[in-house]
Amino acid sequence: MTGEPFVEVHRLSRTFALPALRPPGGGRPVPRHLQAVDDVSFSLARGQALGLVGESGCGKTTLAHILARLADPTAGGLVFDGRDLAAVPAARFARDPARRRIQMVFQDATEALNPRDTVLEAIAGPIRLLVPGLRGREVAERAAATAARVNLPPELMTRFPHQLSGGQRARVGIARAIGVEPELLILDEPTSALDVSIQAVVLKLLDRLRRESALTYVFVSHDLNVVRMLCDRVMVMYLGRLIEEGPVEAVFRNPRHPYTAALIDAIPRLGARGAARERLAGEPRSPVNPSPTVCRLVGRCAHEQARCRAAMPPLGPEGAGHRHACFFPLGRDEEPC
């Protein structure tokens, strides 16, 4: 890899304040916070597709919204193409020149679309707002061309969202994001609301768009197969922490963190990494006021030892292509990536 990373995330965290808890026997209320994203660092090269996986509630959407600068982190840095964007509050980012360069495809296209906008208006909206100097006709032409790129036929341009199929609505959501010619696309489970057969078609489309336009993707999914198909690298999150990160094939073939191994072993077809299937016991720990000196997987992990209850394993080794956050990792060390 040469030069500066395209996206550099440094120790990003996001907490949500919760109402303080009054102890049953009286006494001072205990302040509480929910740790949605906890000390996450990674970098991304231009043109890469990075998958972000983990169970529901592990912080994927919160991190995606911060990366798209739709939400603010409570701590940490975010450098985009050499510029520190964490310093720009989300409320101000809507008018920032970098807004056009970073776009988001939302999980539920139906919710993201205005029911009163036709398909053409929905796609034209961001173009009108974010591409300066275009005349009305040019905006409409660009919207129509974008619709064609996502295989939306011209006769749909005057339809409203409720007159579209799920797959067509997903295409409109994608067209809204790519019509302004962004460089970084954050996709939050863009196909999870669709039937499996339609999912495959939309995923193929996303793959083609990335190659055609040299886009960089952060692709959020709870489906590991999808990430394996579409992405170069993968990050695994657990209760707000980044617990493993590396090239997709290295992570799938040789997961180092027991949680990653359990996720892979739970995939029906792929889940055959030999006899040693990894299983998780019990329930996840609470994301509220989590201990900074205990591994988040304590209580569920078959490999747990006293050290795991005394310190938080850091993500490492530093500078390696495949990193994990476990004191007692599975598998063998690989060749450097």
Ligand X SMILES: Nc1ncnc2c1ncn2[C@@H]1O[C@H](COP(=O)(O)OP(=O)(O)O)[C@@H](O)[C@H]1O
Candidate ranges 58-66, 134-142, 197-205, 275-283; the one touching ligand X (CB under 6 A) = 58-66
Task: Using alpha carbons, list the distances in angstroms from residue 178 to 105, 145, 200, 208.
Answer: 9, 11, 19, 13
H or E element, residue 92? helix 90-93
Candidate ranges 56-64, 81-89, 111-119, 277-285; the one touching Mg ion (CB under 5 A) = 56-64
CA-closest candidate to residue 137, choices 124, 153, 151 = 124
Q: How far apart are the two ends of the chain, measured CA to CA in Å? A: 11
Distance CA 207, CA 189 (A): 14
Q: Which partner in ligand X, Mg ion, none is near 167 (CB below 5 to 8 A by kind)?
A: none
| Residue 36 is a binding residue for ligand X (CB under 6 A) | yes
Closer residue to ligand X in complex, CB, 19/274: 19
| Residue 61 is a binding residue for Mg ion (CB under 5 A) | yes
Closer residue to Mg ion in complex, CB, 16/307: 16
CB of residue 330 to Mg ion, shortest distance in Å: 27
| Residue 19 is a binding residue for ligand X (CB under 6 A) | no
Number of residues forming the site for ligand X (CB under 6 A): 12
Evaluate whether 101 touches 183 at the Cβ level (below 8 Å).
yes
Q: Which partner in ligand X, Mg ion, none is near 34 (CB below 5 to 8 A by kind)?
A: ligand X
| Residue 204 is a binding residue for ligand X (CB under 6 A) | no
CA-closest candidate to residue 49, choices 170, 182, 184 = 184
Task: Using alpha carbons, list the distances in angstroms from residue 280 to 155, 239, 263.
Answer: 51, 14, 9
CB of residue 63 to Mg ion, shortest distance in Å: 9
Closer residue to Mg ion in complex, CB, 79/237: 237
Token pair 């500078």: residue: 319
When binding is defined by CB under 6 A, the residue of 9, 60, 217, 228 that contacts ligand X is 60
| Residue 31 is a binding residue for ligand X (CB under 6 A) | no
